Structure 1
Amino acid sequence: MLLTLALVAGVAPLAAQDTRFTKEMRPGDRLELQNINGEIRVTQGTGRTAEIVVTKEVKAGDGSLVKAIMEEGTGYVRVCTVYLNRDPNRSTCRGENSGNWSSAGRVRFEVNMHYEVRAPAGVRLEVESVNGNVVLRGIDTPATVETVNGAIDLDGVGAHRLETVNGRITGRFTSSSWSGDLDLETVNGSIELSLPGDFSAQIAGETVNGSIDFGEFPVTMRGKWGPKTFTGTIGEGGRRIRIETVNGSVTLRRR
């Protein structure tokens, strides 16, 4: 259970610093990623070691007031972004990130933290972000993703719960050989799914302000103006897909 932390600085441009974490993980372990500003990108690795590289992009102010830290416990690894303007000695993810404004109304710092992650097969993902897109590539195990201002882009297989407030959700599923449900929810943004030809599921959902296009899929829509709901059975049914958006369209396509 080796933990490695390396900080690369000095040779990079003024506004770029990389922090690298590695940790051996077993199938069923949980990898948690918690960010404030910046993109999170996750791909599936080939070994049993999780690798998280966090690139700090300092756009203004004191970049030393923002850092990434790693915590670990039984069955989980957590990497998070923390602000140090209240407690410069902070070393845990728990605590308040009080923001980057001073009492005089000036910006103390403007920093983006971009996560590049390689997750071992079979590891469960829990991703939280405030301002930034989340991209998942080739993930074969359940993932929970929550962001406030950012799009979610998924390419792979597995049961997932994807939620954003201001952003689009795009899902491209490469195989139907997985079980479990799929929940997709956004407030301001469209939802688009691309499914394999042999995919089976029970589908249901709604949109308030947006169009619905399910192509050749046998989906029944209720409502024409204002809120619209839809239900349908794809293939043999089985797994459940729930889709909800307030301001945005819903599109379903075969790959």
Structure 2
Amino acid sequence: MLLTLALVAGVAPLAAQDTRFTKEMRPGDRLELQNINGEIRVTQGTGRTAEIVVTKEVKAGDGSLVKAIMEEGTGYVRVCTVYLNRDPNRSTCRGENSGNWSSAGRVRFEVNMHYEVRAPAGVRLEVESVNGNVVLRGIDTPATVETVNGAIDLDGVGAHRLETVNGRITGRFTSSSWSGDLDLETVNGSIELSLPGDFSAQIAGETVNGSIDFGEFPVTMRGKWGPKTFSGTIGEGGRRIRIETVNGSVTLRRR
């Protein structure tokens, strides 16, 4: 399968720093996105070609010390952000991205890499980020998302594992016609789910410092002060939803 890498030039200053990757992918293939600073936005495309456009935003220092690269193997495609301050010839995702200083230890660089992704239907997503929000739109297959400092916003269907340390998680599910479990976890941030009227699941979770609002859903809460746990059966049960937060509220709504 053909791998294409192109630099897209344009009139606007930032357009010259866009990098575009395309790759044909089959259902069941895995698309991995690994970023350090910047937002990742994923929507579902209409064809079999994955398209990833990475926009480099140089805020300070030497922007040439940061780049995006693509790797591919059997059943997967990986696009990642790498730092070149330790190895200017680095060409793989493997390696250390420690610090954002030049090799001489003097020139600091501050660069955001923003990912705009169109993923083919049926492709599994694995997203990792350090500082930046992750937005998923219209995704119909399982996604695993991990970020440290950033919110996660999901609109679509499918079983997912969404995890952040500092940020809220928002999920709007447009259909109940999917199987598999849903795991949501954050330390400092709220979790809010909007579910279809015919949605069925077994739900359980906990929060330490935060309110709980289940609306009309038949969920039982235990604990009033400090840690609070909850569980219940929505509709006919079936799939499992696990929700955990330390400092943040939990809200369930019916669409």
1:11 Cα offset (Å): 4.0
CA distance in 2, matches of 1:177, 1:229: 28
1:13 Cα offset (Å): 1.2
Once the two structures are aligned, what percentage of the paired residues are identical? Answer: 100
> For the Cα contact (< 8 Å) 1:201–1:239, is it kept in 2?
yes
1:108 Cα offset (Å): 1.8
TM-score w.r.t. the length of structure 2 is 0.97
CA distance in 1, matches of 2:13, 2:209: 45
CA distance in 2, matches of 1:85, 1:15: 24
1:152 Cα offset (Å): 0.0
RMSD: 1.4
1:232 Cα offset (Å): 0.2
CA distance in 2, matches of 1:160, 1:47: 22
Sort the Cα spacing of 1:250 and 1:107 in 2 relative to 1 into closer, same or farther, 3 A: farther
TM-score w.r.t. the length of structure 1 is 0.97
1:69 Cα offset (Å): 0.1
CA distance in 2, matches of 1:151, 1:31: 20
> For the Cα contact (< 8 Å) 2:209–2:226, is it kept in 1?
yes
Residue 17 of structure 2 aligns to a residue in which SS? strand
Q: Provide the residue aligned with 2:98 in structure 1.
A: 98
CA distance in 2, matches of 1:92, 1:55: 19
Q: Provide the residue aligned with 1:66 in structure 2.
A: 66
Sort the Cα spacing of 1:253 and 1:14 in 2 relative to 1 into closer, same or farther, 3 A: closer
C-alpha distance after superposition, 1:161-197 (max 9, x if no partner): 0000000000000000000000000000000000000
Sort the Cα spacing of 1:103 and 1:117 in 2 relative to 1 into closer, same or farther, 3 A: closer
1:2 Cα offset (Å): 1.2
Residue 241 of structure 2 aligns to a residue in which SS? strand
CA distance in 1, matches of 2:181, 2:171: 14
1:103 Cα offset (Å): 8.0
Residue 178 of structure 2 aligns to a residue in which SS? coil
CA distance in 1, matches of 2:33, 2:215: 36
1:19 Cα offset (Å): 0.1
> For the Cα contact (< 8 Å) 2:49–2:119, is it kept in 1?
yes
Residue 14 of structure 2 aligns to a residue in which SS? coil
1:8 Cα offset (Å): 2.5
> For the Cα contact (< 8 Å) 2:190–2:248, is it kept in 1?
yes
> For the Cα contact (< 8 Å) 1:68–1:80, is it kept in 2?
yes
Sort the Cα spacing of 1:234 and 1:14 in 2 relative to 1 into closer, same or farther, 3 A: closer
- Unpaired runs of 5+ residues, structure 1, are none
Sort the Cα spacing of 1:75 and 1:167 in 2 relative to 1 into closer, same or farther, 3 A: same
CA distance in 2, matches of 1:147, 1:189: 13
Sort the Cα spacing of 1:15 and 1:51 in 2 relative to 1 into closer, same or farther, 3 A: closer
CA distance in 2, matches of 1:174, 1:139: 10
Residue 198 of structure 2 aligns to a residue in which SS? coil
